[in-house]
Amino acid sequence: MAQRKQLWHGRFDTGPAAELVAFTESLSYDSRLVFDDIHCSRAHVRGLGRGGILSDEEVGAVLAALDSVAEEFAEDRFEFEASDEDIHTAIERRVTEIAGEPGTKLHTGRSRNDQVATAFRWFVLRELRVVAEAALELATTLAERADDAGVGEGGVYLPGYTHLQHAQPVMLAHHLMAHAWAVLRDVDRIWDTRRRMDVSPLGAGALAGSSLPLDPDGTATDIGFGERFENSLDATSDRDFVAESLAVLAIIGVHLSRMGEEIVLWSTDEFGFIRLDDAYATGSSMLPQKKNPDIAELARGKAGRLIGNLAGLLATMKSLPLAYNRDLQEDKEPLFDSLDTVRLGLAALTGVYRTMSINADRMRAAADSPYASATDLAEFLVVKGMGFRDAHAVVGALVRESLDQGVPLIDLVEVNEHLGAEAAVLLQPGVAVTRRTTPGGAGPLPVAEQRKRLAERLAGESQRWRAVTAE
């Protein structure tokens, strides 16, 4: 069988070497852009019609051929040829086979450089929205689990840690909502990233635009972009929208890794704060008693890949001269990988949080060490008029004495000249957590208020994303 020709065969005597094809192809992964390319190509064809470059009949014929190609892909019966380098050339080749002569006009005034940049932007805009929705699910689940734990007086509390050492008791709801706020910032970052990316490069051509009467404003609107490019060199060669997406996804990955690490710790026998649902834990092939937190571990581990994808793309982009260089083809695989990893990770962790059971007794018992109330004792002295440094020293000395001599702290507090029985009450189980009253703080009063504010933020985010989904 005669070898099919590349779409750019005109000035070449021979066909491409097998090694060239093998090394430079992108079809094996960019097929994922098929419907985005077809969507953008439709707008391009209609633009060519408005410019009088294609007649109405030609526009009709090419649009019909694009529809057929979309159907072939949807029904999984599209046949690739060896000459198809990427999804864009495959679609154009097939459109020409179906539409004949008018099909040869599809690529008029267009280069793969603006074509790829356009289809890829359109793809990323949508996929980031999917990630935002998954992130909102996680934030919502965290808020619901905060409700289960109790957001007011009587709610579950546990030790708050700094340096992974007991610091002060905090409401469990407070702890869970800390993660929810971080995830909401991620969602907000996705919003900002999408806003900057919402620009159509179509019409920029290979690098400089065209002599033909193209309509980049019209095609931008037709596709659904907010605006068209301002500079054709920039439009075809910049991938900061990919780098920014990878950065946002890496930050989400880092947030997920922190939650993962915590779930790993909390589910150990030593902590015993939570128990994972069977459906969200794994067994060991050798040790029958094991129940492993693999989702949490991979949420932790996959952050490495997400960070690597960002670092890799930045290295590819670094020092590239204007305008398009084939290096830029390397933008897709890392982003596909990061999008999939984050979307699946968000869903998996949402499931873990939704189904895990909480051992409130273990949490409370761990938090009820009298030493966790040391700051309350110091603050008691401050209210009585002592300077904080002095108060800190008085309580510090008592703690040391208690530890050194094995005497319960409460006994020393009761007989201390500055403290006494009134202060000893602060060491009773469950008292310390109620004393954190600062707005945004960890006690039941501010936590109940925080839960309301979180509900408002969640509702606001959901609402603005619903508008995008409806587009």
Closest approach, Cβ 111 to ligand ARG, in A, equals: 7
Closest approach, Cβ 290 to ligand ARG, in A, equals: 45
Q: Is residue 338 within 8 Å of 306, Cβ to Cβ?
A: yes
Tokens of 12: 């070449």
Q: Which stretch binds ligand ARG (CB under 6 A): 168-176, 321-329, 333-341, 446-454?
A: 321-329
Q: Which is nearer to ligand ARG, 119 or 182 (CB)?
A: 119
Which one from 163, 211, 285, 319 is the annotated catalytic residue? 163
Closest approach, Cβ 332 to ligand ARG, in A, equals: 6
| Residue 281: partners with Cβ closer than 8 Å, 6 or more residues away | 291, 292, 293, 294, 295
Q: Could you tell me where the DSSP H helices lie in 75-171?
A: 87-99, 112-149
CB atoms within 10 A of CB 216: 24
| Residue 128: partners with Cβ closer than 8 Å, 6 or more residues away | 190, 193, 194, 245, 248, 339
Tokens of 249: 């996804």
- Count of chain residues binding ligand ARG (CB under 6 A): 9
Q: 424-443: which residues touch ligand ARG (CB under 6 A)?
A: none
Asked if 329 interacts with ligand ARG (CB under 6 A), we say yes
Classify residue 136 by burial, with Cβ atoms within 10 Å: 0-12, 13-18, 19+: buried
Asked if 90 interacts with ligand ARG (CB under 6 A), we say no
Write each residue from 120 to 139 as x if it is in contact with ligand ARG (CB under 6 A), else as -, in one continuous string: --------------------
337-to-27, 33, 245, 307 alpha-carbon distances in Å: 16, 14, 12, 11
Q: Which is nearer to ligand ARG, 332 or 451 (CB)?
A: 332
Closest approach, Cβ 85 to ligand ARG, in A, equals: 6
Closest approach, Cβ 33 to ligand ARG, in A, equals: 9
Q: Which is nearer to ligand ARG, 122 or 157 (CB)?
A: 122
Q: Which is nearer to ligand ARG, 205 or 443 (CB)?
A: 205
Binding ligand ARG by CB under 6 A: which of 39, 93, 105, 112? Answer: 112
Asked if 184 interacts with ligand ARG (CB under 6 A), we say no
Q: 201-260: which residues touch ligand ARG (CB under 6 A)?
A: none
Known active-site residue 200? no
Closest approach, Cβ 232 to ligand ARG, in A, equals: 14
| Residue 103: partners with Cβ closer than 8 Å, 6 or more residues away | 61, 62, 65, 92, 95, 96, 97
Closest approach, Cβ 88 to ligand ARG, in A, equals: 6
Element (H, E) at 158: strand 157-162
Q: 17-46: which residues touch ligand ARG (CB under 6 A)?
A: 26
Closest approach, Cβ 329 to ligand ARG, in A, equals: 4
Q: Which is nearer to ligand ARG, 48 or 328 (CB)?
A: 328
Binding ligand ARG by CB under 6 A: which of 36, 86, 262, 461? Answer: 86
Binding ligand ARG by CB under 6 A: which of 41, 113, 219, 416? Answer: 113
Q: Is residue 191 within 8 Å of 98, Cβ to Cβ?
A: no
Closest CA to 325 of 314, 337, 333, 317: 317
Closest CA to 349 of 272, 263, 243, 412: 263
Q: Which is nearer to ligand ARG, 90 or 412 (CB)?
A: 90
Strand, helix or coil for residue 228 = strand
CB-hemisphere CA count at 13 Å for 360?
13
Q: Which stretch binds ligand ARG (CB under 6 A): 99-107, 163-171, 300-308, 323-331?
A: 323-331
Asked if 326 interacts with ligand ARG (CB under 6 A), we say yes
Q: Which is nearer to ligand ARG, 28 or 285 (CB)?
A: 28
Asked if 156 interacts with ligand ARG (CB under 6 A), we say no
Closest CA to 228 of 236, 240, 219: 219
Nearest-angstrom CA–CA distance, 378 and 423: 10
Binding ligand ARG by CB under 6 A: which of 62, 116, 131, 398? Answer: 116
CB atoms within 10 A of CB 193: 22
Binding ligand ARG by CB under 6 A: which of 171, 251, 328, 424? Answer: 328
Q: Where are the beta strands (DSSP E) in 315-464?
A: 357-358
Nearest-angstrom CA–CA distance, 422 and 441: 24
Known active-site residue 166? no
Dihedral over alpha carbons 401, 403, 405, 408 (to 10 degrees): 90
Q: Is residue 206 within 8 Å of 116, Cβ to Cβ?
A: no
**Residues with catalytic roles:** 163, 284
What residues line the site for ligand ARG (CB under 6 A)?
Answer: 26, 86, 112-113, 116, 324, 326, 328-329
